[in-house]
Chains A and B, each alone.
Chain A
Amino acid sequence: MTKVTMTVNGKTVSADTEGRTLLSSFLRDGLGMTGTHIGCDTSQCGACLVHVDGKAVKSCSVFAQEVAGAQVRTIEGMANADGSLSVIQQAFQDHHGLQCGFCTPGMVMSAAALLAENPKPTEHEVRHYLEGNLCRCTGYHNIVKAVLAASGQDVSGLGVAAE
């Protein structure tokens, strides 16, 4: 067992790890931060996506010991300081971008990384960027809409029948 220390959502935290402990289990089991979800074992679903030093990373694809000392941000650190939903989170609620909520933490973190890189993405760019995040519930329609809305774009015409 090796103690690993890092900064998660602005707080310095540490927990014991084995060499094989993934960042995802460090967060969930080591720190009890269960907002980060595990949906697969082949790094394909994106439910576990967090930010490591500002970059989108699937937390099941790195060992905790590899990111010792890093700045990590998870879904638990996404709301505004006063506890209200951030713009992206609010857009997911407003546009019904979640159903069961299991993919949602990863989706929100992925969307935040996209908008940090590309503040006004096209629908195509959003779909392409979110390709690594699986959602089985929504059919992505409302997720894409939420991300576009969060970027300040008008989504009122999307998916509406041509009059």
Chain B
Amino acid sequence: MPDTPPHRTLFTAKSLTKSFGEVRVLSNIDLQVNQGEVLALLGENGAGKSTLVKLIGGYETVSGGLLHLANEAGELRPLNSDTWKHATAEAQGVILIHQELNLAEQLNAVENIFLGNEIRRGPFLDKHRMLELTREYLSILDCDIDPLVPVAQLSVSVKQMIEIAKAYAKNSRLLILDEPTAVLTAKESEALFQLIDRLTEQGVAIVYISHKLDEIERIADRVVVLRDGELVGDYDAKTLTKDDMARLMVGRELTNLFPVATPPNATSEVVLELKKGAVPGLISNASFQLRAGEILGFAGLVGSGRTALMEAIIGLHQFSKSSELLIRGKSVSFSSLAAARDAGIAYLTKDRKGSGLLLGMSLPINFSLFSLHKFSNGLINTKKEQEAFSEAVDTFEIRLKDLSISAGNLSGGNQQKLLLAKVMAAEPSIIIVDEPTRGIDIGTKSQIYHFIANLAEKGHSIIMVSSDMMEVIGLSHRVAVMCRGQLVGILEGEQKQEHEIMRYAAGLESQLTQEGEKASA
């Protein structure tokens, strides 16, 4: 029902195709976006979702097909695909928030939000006004930060909120969000959803990409499913359950997302033990044990010190004198990541763009970087490296038509799989994964869960830091909860439940006694 308010068509695409060189990643996409609605784009990793929205947002050029955008009067007008660049798109109110963060790290929130759209008074910047507006936007997003510190010092989730504020600051008619909540906590996501509600009431159209199906259920009006570069369906969101969505995306029935993880034997060896772990300024008190064959989840709010603790264990931060780290009963202190790696401990970073992958480099180079010594006896054995890489492509199901592209051109999910492959190439026995399924589609998620459970079954030990509550509960044998730099409790069995974890994470409950010692093991 085009042209009848309030759902007038804002944007259409007809037979849209996109190829990179000879590889076609999108074929014959027909899409319609209406004012005031939330259109969810679903699809597996590499299905072409990001590519599609980049075409709409003017970040990639169309290989074939037609785009139409409504003008102020509501009449659809064809877009000249040669001149449809992101600057033109933004001027017309088509705004894309990328899957990956794109902030100027040395600038602060205010400067980032108004980058390219600076408010002036005469020839000078109106800093006061910009600061005022930034405060307003951030308060709408419930984001309580100092807008004047360089964003490099902020956490990824806060950076993402700044990206959102930046998009909000531009007057949008069509706002496209590519996996905005991948790095957000539940609370921050909720603030975003409220913003989305507010925008749709004003008639703004939203295109929303996410692998989190509850969110789709919560906000979407319409669901479009992509599979392998083709549009396989356009549905009314009300008619779909989460299971339907998963089935449509993957193309088959998805049973048991989480494997049944057999808990480790109570007598199995303690492979890692931290006593009174403390890092000045970051961690005040964290003690725990990790057994062979165990998956230990780490839950907590953003900023609770989980990542800092893991980075201290692998030698990136120095523990204070009173702390003791034992690996298989032996007291150790790693001076570098290489030392930790050689002791069998590997860490998968949550910041894959900033500290995970060399985006401009080839896939095999990225794959072997962490364990290069294994492929070298003086000279690098490229044949061995290649073989190991091909094997990893299979094991981790990195779905690609062209393996010669650089890591930066992989879809987000494939990047995550490559990162996992890179870490696993060192064959660690203790694996610390930080947000391992960020940006991963539900089918692959299930694979990764089975993969992790399998590792544990074989006697490896896994620490899994995750903000995805389902994942922490579903996969871990025990869940450690952190709150303000303290490990406040380890929950297992009956206690391993969402509301219980939240109580600990919020600081309402703690297993620590007054002196800061742990009361019960």
Q: Is B truly associated with A?
A: no
- A-side residues, CB < 8 A to B, are none
- B-side residues, CB < 8 A to A, are none
